Amino acid sequence: MAVQLNYGALLSTQEIESRYRGAEQEFARVQKNYSGVFGRFKMHLSESDKRTLGDLVGVLLLLSTQPVVQDGASKVANACTVGTLNMRILDYASRFRNSGVDKIRREVSA
């Protein structure tokens, strides 16, 4: 489970990278629960996995406000990588009926 952070707290580069890697690992763990022969056909996330994904989004949003991330001082957790992981989590959650995340699809007219 992701550990929530306090808004306004400045984190060191090491702490940010550690939190980012932890978020990646937790996301991979959740994805593993829904992969494989039987996992692919699951249409609902478990309550604990929904909570985990929500916590991860919260942690990543907080990390994105850190000066170290915004300045690009960390090669592991910069604004691009943090934002990309956040979007991957939201995109993944949108595949499940009970996640509360919907993808907006735009029709392109010819």
Name the pTM for this structure.
Answer: 0.83
4: amino acid identity, one letter: Q
Element (H, E) at 87: helix 79-93
Domain map (residue ranges) of the chain = 1-36+47-102
Contact (CB, 8 A) for 74 and 17? yes
pLDDT at 37: 77
105: amino acid identity, one letter: R
pLDDT, tens digit, 9 for 90 and up, residues 37-72: 777 778 899 999 999 999 999 999 999 999 988 888
